[in-house]
Amino acid sequence: YQEEIQELNEVARHRPRSTLVMGIQQENRQIRELQQENKELRTSLEEHQSALELIMSKYREQMFRLLMVSKKDDPSIITKLKEQHSKV
């Protein structure tokens, strides 16, 4: 670790201070941009997950209704479907 720090210090000494400050400022800008992009991606992911949950909920509802209509003759299946639907 000490060797690495010493090497970095050697490199830094051969450059003007203003160059180092500008480099750090540029890195900070890039970090801020990446953080903003990260926020936007998280928000987008949350929105997509929410939409997918809604779609799947509607799909399950429809499938439940279809199965209820098609299995009216068998009460045991209806009971089983109701139990599964209430768990979801």
Q: What is the pLDDT of residues 18-64, one digit of tens each?
A: 777 888 899 999 999 999 999 999 999 999 999 999 999 999 999 88
Please determine, for residue 81, whether its predicted confidence score (pLDDT) is greater than 70: no
The pTM score is 0.55
Q: What is the DSSP letter of 20?
A: H
Q: Provide the residue range defining the domain that includes 1.
A: 1-86
- Report the b/e string of 18-52 with b at 16+ CB within 10 A: eeeeeeeeeeeeeeeeeeeeeeeeeeeeeeeeeee
Q: What is the DSSP letter of 85?
A: H
Looking at the structure of the chain, the number of domains it has is 1
Tokens 């670790």, residue?
Answer: 1
